[in-house]
Structure 1
Amino acid sequence: MPQLNPNPWFMIMILSWLTLSLIMQPKLLSFLSPNPLHTKQITAHKTQPWTWPWT
């Protein structure tokens, strides 16, 4: 069964991961986000009990 021979596919996988992790990933991570994250102030909401008409 030739599809179980890992010889060509393993090398392709290793080269693909090396290309991604060493070349592409630093280039992609160098871009700045157009919308920087900000911390929001968490405010507690005032809840009121629901008045049921049948009680």
Structure 2
Amino acid sequence: MPQLNPDPWFLVLTSTWLTYTIILQPKILSYLPTNSPNQDNKNNKTINTKPWTWPWT
């Protein structure tokens, strides 16, 4: 069964992972997140809401 023979696909697997780790990963990690969790949101306003009054209660 050729599916079990790792010989032709092992080179493809290793080259793909090397490409990912060496070239693509630093490029992806260089982007800054647009909504990072460590930003201080000083404009946080708490909205006072009234509870909904259900007619059947």
The normalised TM-score by structure 2 is 0.57
Query: How big is the shift at 1:3?
Result: 1.0
Runs of 4+ in 1 over 4 A off after TM superposition: none
TM norm structure 1: 0.58
State the Cα distance separating 1:2 from its structure 2 match: 1.1
Identity of aligned residues (%): 50
Q: CA deviation at 1:32?
A: 1.2
Aligned counterparts of 1:5 and 1:39: Cα–Cα separation in 2: 54
* Aligned equivalent of 1:24: 24
Letter in 1 for 2:25: Q
Work out the CA distance in 1 between the residues paired with 2:40 and 2:26: 26
Pairwise CA RMSD? 2.8
Tell me the residue number matched to 2:3: 3
Greater Rg over alpha carbons, structure: 1
- 5+ residue gaps, structure 2: 42-57
Which ranges of structure 1 fall in alignment gaps of 5 or more residues?
Answer: 41-55
Aligned counterparts of 2:31 and 2:15: Cα–Cα separation in 1:
24
